[in-house]
Structure 1
Amino acid sequence: MSSPVDVDLVLVGGGGAASLVLAALGRLNPSPVRVAIVDPVHKRGQDRTWAFWGSPGTELDPLLSASWNDVDVVTPAGRRVLSLAPMRYAMLRSAPLYELAGQAEKTLDAVRVTTEAGRVDDDGDRVVVTDPGGAPIVRGKWALDSRPRPPERPGRTNWLQHFRGWWLESDRPRFDPDRAVLMDFRTPQPARGVSFGYVLPVSDRFALVEYTEFSPARLSGPEYDAALHGYLDLLGLDLADFRVREVEDGVIPMTDGPFESRPSPRVVRLGTAGGATRPSTGFTFSAMARQADQIAREVAAGRPPVPDPPYPARHLWMDSVQLRALDRGLVDGVAFFERLFDRNPASLVLRFLDGTTSMAEDLRLMASTPLVPMTRAVF
């Protein structure tokens, strides 16, 4: 049996969270820091799309497929055009991020172990990553584990953000590339939950059209397809006029169950496993990117690669209340989101969803929600 690889930092899992960490480390190139990646699959190509908002001018800007300064929120009552200034809404496809992470691997002279990881054992001085059979494969000072796992204990409310999207291409102009649809609530609403469609155009002939639900359970494949067909009808589009270039499916937890971000002193969990998914929306990318940048800065400064919590505790409490209110039918989901965007600047709502608002801003947002049913949800 060969001896385990000895490094400073082990990335267990090689998906989006690990790729962001690698990209951030590659920009700073802290030396001498030895890095290893343990994952049975070397991520390449296109397997997912992240949409997120934030300020322009970041290191990820050259990788973006598209960005928009204005977005639409549509309800049965009408269309609201939201100016996001000074922020913007952006789309990042996985292929350029994986490519950038691959370049960072070379810059860092990182070791890639294409084996499934088993246990991650922390003896207080070093971390040992084993294969599924228990044989040690990598030993490091720190481990960043981004493998999916359930919360530490079940939440009071356990929903899902689940979706299917079609990448549609046409031979003639069909989309407005300067305008994205953030949420279109004209879709038929589930008995428990909220549904909406959205449109992210890369050009006037190519766009991602997606159907999303916030609800307790997934749909079947034919049900997602039927929902997308129905949404195209609402948009006045005929699927026969398009080629479906790609199909994207996904499911993300929306739960107030706590995720254990530090299972031991030298192990840090990232991504959804570390609580980066916002319970009230299922959005994850911005928190992962913030944590990746902080980890890289800490490593470059010779400090432990331990990021701040992805969201303030008060935001997690507010999310728990919102989930409970939706789950118990105390508020109408469409009316809730419509009211939130109607009574607050779009940039404030989006910063709250990213977990970057102040206490005073949080109180303003809380005051714009239906207070009586939300108070019932608290109790």
Structure 2
Amino acid sequence: MTSPVTVDLALVGGGGAASLVLAALDRHHLPGVRVAIVDPVHKRGQDRTWAFWGSPGTFLDPLLSAAWDAVDVITPGAPRTLSLRPLRYAMLRSAPLYDLAGAAEQRLGAIRLTTAAGALDDDGSRVVVRDERGAPLVDAGWVLDSRPCPPARSGRTHWLQHFRGWWLESARPLFDPRRAVLMDFRTPQPPRGVSFGYVLPVSDRFALVEYTEFSPSVLSGDEYDTALRGYLTLLGIDESTVRVAEVENGVIPMTDGVFEPRPSPRVVRLGTAGGATRPSTGFTFTAMARQADRIAGEVAAGRPPLPGPAYPARHRWMDAVQLRALDRGLTDGVAFFGRLFDRNPPERVLRFLDGATSWREDLTLMASAPLLPMMRAAAGDAAARLTGGQAARS
């Protein structure tokens, strides 16, 4: 039997979360740290798109496909163009990030094992990463595991952010590259949930146009396509004048279930499995980047690679209440989001969704929500927490 590779840090999974960690380790100039990556697929090329907000001037700037300092939020009869300064909304496609991670991997001298990981045997001092048949692959001081997994503790509300996007090419100018459409709620609303379209233009002839739902279950492929065609009609786009160059699909959990960020002493979970997905929106990228930088900083200081919580506990509670209010039909989703942007500076809303607002700002945001429905949702959430179950649907 071949002896396992001995390293300081093993990354199990090689997608966006692991790529950000590799890039962060490289930025912190840690060539002496022995690193292994265990993943059956060596990620390359375009397999996903991340959209996120933040301040300009980071290491990501050269990788971006586009960035906007103004976005549209549209509800029926009430279009809004919101200035995001000093923040900006940005689009990152996967290929540049994978390339950056690949270059970091080379400089770090990391070892890549192109195989699927199985069990992680943690004895409190070292972790053995095994393959799916139980053979040892890696003996690591710490393991960062970004493989998908369900919540460790089931929540009271289980929704999904699910979507399909078409990358559209046009032979003539069709899009406004100066601003993105963040949320367009003119789409037909599902019986239970919220739907919206959005447009991320890379140029006046190339854009990602997407249909998204926040709801308990996914649609069929034909239903997504029908919804997208309807949204193109709302945008005034004749489908016969554009070409679908690529298609993107996704399903992201929106739940108040608790993901276990540290399932054993020396195993740390990353990405959605580590709680980086914001329950109220499904956004994940900014929290992954923040945690990757924290991990690299801790390694550079000679400390355990612990990223800390993705979001403050009070924000997780606020998300649980919002999800409950939407799930129980206590508040109208379109009106809720419209009101949130109407009564708060957009920069405050975006910082809240990134987990970066103060207590005072959070109270202001809470005051802008419909009071009675949110009080009912908060009371129902508290009762469910006390009983350890779903409680009444009220």
For the superposition of Structure 1 and Structure 2, which TM-score range results when normalised by the shorter chain?
over 0.9
Query: Structure 1 regions of 5+ residues with no counterpart?
Result: none
In structure 1, the partner of 2:255 is 255
In structure 1, the partner of 2:177 is 177
Aligned-pair identity (%): 78
Alpha-carbon distance in 1 for matches of 2:135, 2:73: 52
For the 8 Å contact 2:167–2:244, the answer to whether it is kept is yes
In structure 2, the partner of 1:95 is 95
In structure 2, the partner of 1:341 is 341
- Residue-by-residue CA offset, 1:347-371 (whole Å, 9 max, x unaligned): 0001001111111100000000001
Q: Using the TM superposition, give the Cα deviation of residue 239 of structure 1 relative to its aligned residue in structure 2, in angstroms.
A: 1.3
Residue 7 in 1 paired to residue 2 in 2? no
SS in 2 for 1:310: coil
In structure 2, the partner of 1:133 is 133
Q: Using the TM superposition, give the Cα deviation of residue 29 of structure 1 relative to its aligned residue in structure 2, in angstroms.
A: 2.3
Alpha-carbon distance in 2 for matches of 1:210, 1:317: 29
- Residue-by-residue CA offset, 1:228-259 (whole Å, 9 max, x unaligned): 00000000001111111100000000000000
Detail structure 1 runs of 4+ shifted over 3 Å in the superposition.
Answer: none
In structure 2, the partner of 1:240 is 240
**What are the within-5 Å matches in structure 2 for residues 26-105 of structure 1?**
26-105=26-105
Q: Using the TM superposition, give the Cα deviation of residue 296 of structure 1 relative to its aligned residue in structure 2, in angstroms.
A: 0.9
SS in 2 for 1:357: coil
Alpha-carbon distance in 2 for matches of 1:233, 1:31: 53
Q: Using the TM superposition, give the Cα deviation of residue 14 of structure 1 relative to its aligned residue in structure 2, in angstroms.
A: 0.3
**What are the within-5 Å matches in structure 2 for residues 110-259 of structure 1?**
110-259=110-259
In structure 1, the partner of 2:271 is 271
SS in 2 for 1:208: strand
SS in 2 for 1:156: coil
For the 8 Å contact 2:7–2:141, the answer to whether it is kept is yes
The two structures have a TM-score, normalised by structure 2, of: 0.96
In structure 2, the partner of 1:295 is 295
Alpha-carbon distance in 2 for matches of 1:72, 1:224: 22
Alpha-carbon distance in 1 for matches of 2:143, 2:22: 13
- Residue-by-residue CA offset, 1:48-107 (whole Å, 9 max, x unaligned): 000000000011111000000000000102210100010000000000000000000000
Alpha-carbon distance in 1 for matches of 2:259, 2:129: 21
Alpha-carbon distance in 2 for matches of 1:237, 1:120: 51
Q: Using the TM superposition, give the Cα deviation of residue 191 of structure 1 relative to its aligned residue in structure 2, in angstroms.
A: 0.5
For the 8 Å contact 2:272–2:284, the answer to whether it is kept is yes
Moved more, 146-155 or 330-339: 146-155
Alpha-carbon distance in 2 for matches of 1:260, 1:28: 27
Alpha-carbon distance in 2 for matches of 1:358, 1:27: 29
Count of aligned residue pairs for this structure pair: 379
In structure 2, the partner of 1:308 is 308
Q: Using the TM superposition, give the Cα deviation of residue 31 of structure 1 relative to its aligned residue in structure 2, in angstroms.
A: 3.5
Q: Using the TM superposition, give the Cα deviation of residue 322 of structure 1 relative to its aligned residue in structure 2, in angstroms.
A: 0.3
Alpha-carbon distance in 1 for matches of 2:336, 2:253: 20
Q: Using the TM superposition, give the Cα deviation of residue 153 of structure 1 relative to its aligned residue in structure 2, in angstroms.
A: 2.2
